[in-house]
Amino acid sequence: MYTNLVDRFIKYVKIETRSDETSQTVPSTQSQVEFAKVLMKDLKDIGLSEVDYNENNGFVTATLEANSQVEAPTVGFIAHMDTADFNARNVNPQFIEDYDGTDIVLNEELGVILSPNDFPNLKNYKSQTLITTDGTTLLGADDKAGIVEIISAVEYLLNHPEIEHGKVRLAFGPDEEIGAGADRFDVEQFNADFAYTVDGGPVGELQYESFNAAGAKVHIQGKNVHPGTAKNQMVNALTLAMKLNEQLPELEVPEHTENREGFFHLTSMSGTVEEAELSYIIRDHDRKKFEKRKQLLINAIDQLNESFDQKRLTIEMKDQYYNMREVIEEDMRAVEVAQKAMESLKIDPIIEPIRGGTDGSKISFMGLPTPNLFAGGENFHGRYEFVAVESMQAAAEVIQKIIELVVQ
């Protein structure tokens, strides 16, 4: 049905588009700019209008013009161009046809095996065609699967003008993986009534509830003296770092939480006796619990500072995004249409909170309700990433059905 979907996906994942958290440019890497040019050409070639690249935010946008006389909402579809912080050069996709449910040797030389013993989700894909990595890179289905699914759906509608549809807006943006891309998204210019990010996992995922999220950096100023004469003089910044982390709830960390349980996640710790730095991310679906978590970390720092005659620990904390449910539940059209589309295609909607966030988490708070649809990939952000061809086709079908239902 979507004849160009797989070829386009392979073409896109071979283009390196890794984002860079340390960069000060927009987008954060030039490779994303180059990929945007490829996308613009492809979007023009299939016949979309208003194809544009916004140099202020790095987004490629395009329009599928309405062919129906029925007045209908404008629906948008959004996906991101960048890949995560893992090797993304020389991506070499492998095809596993009619998967039999056993171990997949990704790289014999390196001993990299994709096994259902480690990843039970593989058992859901027996008899399907999997696209995997070669064990040395990520795949890039997050989120190039989303991009090609959106393009395939609108391309099909362009080639079948007998199917009535309203106006559809497309946006492909940078730097989602470093949490910066959506900050500059131009909702007014996009001009949609509601939208979807196509950035989820397995078939059926429909998500409109995300974490509230914050990032915190803690700086610790120690006092280094010779260890032989250190009594009552040395202040070891590394020891203080460990004491701070011990003040936080031991089991409220990613490896011990699930569903709507929030957490503190120590993502990095470095330093010497003289100085140390810790980075945390703080997550919770409940806004009140989220605020309490942030305050708990601040209180722990204040308590440790009381032990000294000067402030040894300082913190910089910044909210990153909020639970998009707060916005979307005020206008549930996007969720209702997506649910109806899946059910009409015999796909069971999986409506669960995201233990993370999407660009929609920010865009929803800009005034555009934007839940998240499945893109089909699994095991994102590493060498074990894979996607089934059947999953990508299903996502394209759901996108197309949503577009049709908006008019109906």
Long-range pairs for 242-245: beta carbons < 8 A, 24 or more residues apart: 243/304, 244/218, 244/220, 244/278, 244/300, 244/301, 244/304, 244/313, 245/269, 245/278
80 is in an annotated binding site: yes
pLDDT single digits (tens) 231-277 = 999 999 999 999 999 999 999 999 999 999 999 999 999 999 999 99
Q: Identify the pLDDT of residue 295.
A: 98
Closest C-alpha among 147, 168, 144 to residue 158: 168
Closest C-alpha among 40, 401, 349 to residue 200: 349
Task: Name the DSSP class of 307.
Answer: T
Give phi and psi for 92, each to the nearest 5: -125, 85
142 is in an annotated binding site: yes
pLDDT single digits (tens) 328-372 = 999 999 999 999 999 999 999 999 999 988 999 999 999 999 999
Can you tell me whether residue 397 is helix, strand or coil?
Answer: helix
How does DSSP assign 327-348, residue by residue?
HHTT-THHHHHHHHHHHHTT--
Catalytic: which of 176, 205, 397, 404?
176
Q: Identify the pLDDT of residue 408.
A: 87
- Which residues in the chain come in under a pLDDT of 70? none
381 is in an annotated binding site: yes
183 as an active site residue: the answer is no
Q: Identify the pLDDT of residue 123.
A: 95
Strand order in the sheet with 94-96: 94-96, 130-132, 386-388, 377-378
82 as an active site residue: the answer is yes
Residue 2: its H or E element: none
Catalytic: which of 16, 20, 42, 82?
82
177 is in an annotated binding site: yes
